[in-house]
Amino acid sequence: MASTKKLVKFNSSFNHLLWFFLLFFTYAAAQGIALDAPEFVTIGIFAQTVGLFPVLALALYFTRQLFIEDWQKTKKNILLTIGLIVAGVMAIFFLSGIVGVIYEKLGIEGTSENQESLEVMLASKYGLVMIISIVIFAPILEELIFRKFLFGIAEEKFKWPGWAAILISSLVFSLVHLTSGDFEYILLYLPQALVMGVLYHYSKNNIFVSIGIHFLNNLIAVIGIFVLGGIG
């Protein structure tokens, strides 16, 4: 019996590693198309939306048990889940305001190339397609990659304490959004990642908490881009 339990645990860790690398490099490749060739806006849009759809579908199919387990946690504590999501979004906006002040004091202007690329794609004729990627696909895929798998590997496989798992998953999350090398903008992403990591850990690794925060944050950001940017 002991050997069977050990085998199951090994297989679980192996699957975490396998899914992390598979999803990470596939997602990074889609991001890279949009960032390395911004003049091909349409290619970037469909790489991040249509191209990622089968990846997301397969990931959801093979990890459905993880979602079922976390949905049970959500149903048992629905008010807590909603409260954590709302608190997370508010915390991100508060910390983002502080980051804005810091950047202003340091004389850092503009935004990351990743953000600029997203705004260009949203302003294109296929902008509505891009919304699907930003608001729906990105929260699910990124939370699977950085919270459920990377966080899980650090915490379960390597037995790191929660704070270390939060830190490493947040750093990798932030850096993957800066593939063009504009690392001075890391604070645009790090507060969001830390908030989602902390509340994911606090919710006993309930992915619906971090997905909910990520979803609302991206939705509000997209609305802001359309309203303030005069897109539409």
The two structure tokens encoding residue 214: 């990520």
Q: How confident is the model at residue 2 (pLDDT cuts 50, 70, 90)?
A: very low
The two structure tokens encoding residue 165: 């798992």
Task: Please give the average per-residue pLDDT across 51-67, as a whole number.
Answer: 87
| pLDDT digits 0-9 by tens, 183-225 | 999 999 999 999 999 999 999 999 999 999 999 999 999 999 8
Can you give the pTM of this predicted structure? 0.85
| Position with higher pLDDT, 136 vs 232 | 136
Domain membership of residue 133 as a residue range: 2-228
Degrees, nearest 5: CA angle 212-218-220: 100
Q: How confident is the model at residue 5 (pLDDT cuts 50, 70, 90)?
A: very low
| pLDDT digits 0-9 by tens, 33-50 | 544 444 567 777 777 787
| pLDDT digits 0-9 by tens, 82-93 | 999 999 999 999
Q: What are the Cα distances from residue 55, in Å, to 34, 89, 138, 228?
A: 17, 27, 12, 33
pLDDT for 6 beyond 50: no
Q: How confident is the model at residue 58 (pLDDT cuts 50, 70, 90)?
A: confident
**What domain count does the chain have?**
1
pLDDT for 229 beyond 70: no
The residue with tokens 């790489």 is 47
